[in-house]
Structure 1
């Protein structure tokens, strides 16, 4: 059901873990390089692939689609081809990815009567075409990021873990398809060039790195080189959340992980994450998750 994997590159190494849930396969991988480089990836497995770029910038050329994609950290899409051959150009020294492979027939069963975008995609699979859900890659927002972290840090075992992972694979499929539909219906795009998009992604990464002691809005704007108006509007457009809302989500998700994985008390966690009082933390936690920190600690 679960196996560790590694792969040596000429100028780096990939380490990861793969979960097998019946015929659905999930994998999380981190690739680290000693210098920016290019490598290839290929497979002859006839499956539908969901791809999540969690961290790092890279481009890849997908031979079966005859397309090249320029991607910055925090993106997702769904692709299908009977085989795939890619050339990946790493633009950062660390790349973190997550993937799900669905058997073709199972994916069609799930999606051929779903949203318009998924129905079009499923029809292409039925016709045996190499296809991609959207030419505009979706952004990994808070809900998607939280599901990915729940999978990676899952503490269940045996049959319960398998059931949990299966449910999360469907949840990610729904979130990914919904993000594409939202993007397709968006009339006015505020962040239009690659440089500004990279700066907005850098804002997200900065918040993730400093959840315990977050900078204020003016510090963030100065750090990435955007004015506050463009920062706020661009962040909202990209992640479907305000900067403060995203920070709050990340804090509380981290708090939940601490409750499950450590012996820290709720009071210690609230202090570490910068809450004014344990009661303030308790109220915010219950508002987001519907239960108190105490119940999470004692009923994981």
Structure 2
């Protein structure tokens, strides 16, 4: 049985609103926090669960008592953490934060990961022993594939048992994507983007593309906007998101197009024009290449 609940919290200098879903003991949540000024607040829980965390938008820092660690994070990151309970202090560095999380019961998580990657196996061993742990000291970047799954969950139109099945499958999909991304992050060397300032600039590139999917800037404009030369911009973006700037833009356009097809009555021709495709046929071909079906098929078989 699936349960859905609207949530809210008032801070001294802001408020949070969101929604949680619970299915088969797994709790999924999405929230947006808006602040009047930069501030700090405490968060705690006694739940014995594994927490998969996604910072979708905004910059913040948090100190996690049970991990004896402080993390200084820029929007678009993810990791998996465990402690029997948690106490943390969060300091926002932007006035709006968007986060997403999945809490797996420990037994469920261990069942899912007992034959998984070496990193997940080591992480699960810590859980069995009751030790606080984080999957990796390197936080993974949220790529276009993860963004698509997150969007599918947040905007899910199914109800009852179908929604329950959908949320369960998508939570497992995110676990797989998260583990694979962090494996990649741990194994690769940062050649082009080494400083925190440059990392922030690459995140700003991604955010600019997301904001202007309908009228995307060219590389020269992006370069001037974030203060990186085009060579470092292209190489750094690929290093961070495992995709080219153009490839990422294409993915975001098509993900948005799919959402329009499911949520609105706009025709495929109208959507293709709005998203800047030269012709409806060009849009149709690109859509079919990414999703394996035509725009018409998506609308009639969501």
For this structure pair, what is the TM-score category when the shorter chain's length is used for normalisation? over 0.9
Report the counterpart of residue 87 of structure 1 in structure 2.
Answer: 89
Report the counterpart of residue 169 of structure 1 in structure 2.
Answer: 171
1:180 matched to 2:185: no
Q: What are the residue-to-residue correspondences of 1:187-266 with 2, within 5 Å?
A: 187-266=189-268
Tell me the distance in 2 between the aligned counterparts of 1:228 and 1:117: 35
1:291 matched to 2:293: yes
User: How many aligned positions are there?
Assistant: 300
Tell me the distance in 2 between the aligned counterparts of 1:188 and 1:153: 34
Q: Report how far residue 186 of structure 1 moved.
A: 1.1
- SS of equivalent residue, structure 2 residue 66: coil
CA contact (8 A) 1:44 1:83 kept: yes
Q: What are the residue-to-residue correspondences of 1:42-57 with 2, within 5 Å?
A: 42-57=44-59
- SS of equivalent residue, structure 2 residue 89: strand
Q: Report how far residue 160 of structure 1 moved.
A: 0.4
Is 182-191 or 64-73 further displaced after alignment? 182-191
Of the three residues 16, 19, 22, the one matched with 1:20 is 22
Deviations 1:191-216 (A, max 9, x none): 11100000000000000000000000
Give the root-mean-square deviation of aligned CA atoms: 0.6
For structure 2, list consecutive stretches of 5 or more residues without a partner in the other structure: none
Of the three residues 40, 51, 54, the one matched with 1:38 is 40
CA contact (8 A) 1:24 1:100 kept: yes
CA contact (8 A) 1:17 1:28 kept: yes
- SS of equivalent residue, structure 1 residue 100: strand
For structure 1, list consecutive stretches of 5 or more residues without a partner in the other structure: none
- SS of equivalent residue, structure 2 residue 124: helix
Of the three residues 266, 275, 284, the one matched with 2:277 is 275
Tell me the distance in 2 between the aligned counterparts of 1:92 and 1:50: 22
Q: Report how far residue 188 of structure 1 moved.
A: 4.5
Moved beyond 6 Å, runs of 4+ = none
Tell me the distance in 1 between the aligned counterparts of 2:28 and 2:59: 21
- SS of equivalent residue, structure 1 residue 64: helix
Q: Report how far residue 187 of structure 1 moved.
A: 3.4
CA contact (8 A) 1:13 1:33 kept: yes
Tell me the distance in 2 between the aligned counterparts of 1:46 and 1:148: 24
CA contact (8 A) 2:190 2:239 kept: no
Q: Report how far residue 180 of structure 1 moved.
A: 1.1
Q: What are the residue-to-residue correspondences of 1:58-73 with 2, within 5 Å?
A: 58-73=60-75
- SS of equivalent residue, structure 2 residue 164: helix
Tell me the distance in 2 between the aligned counterparts of 1:36 and 1:227: 31
Tell me the distance in 1 between the aligned counterparts of 2:105 and 2:77: 22
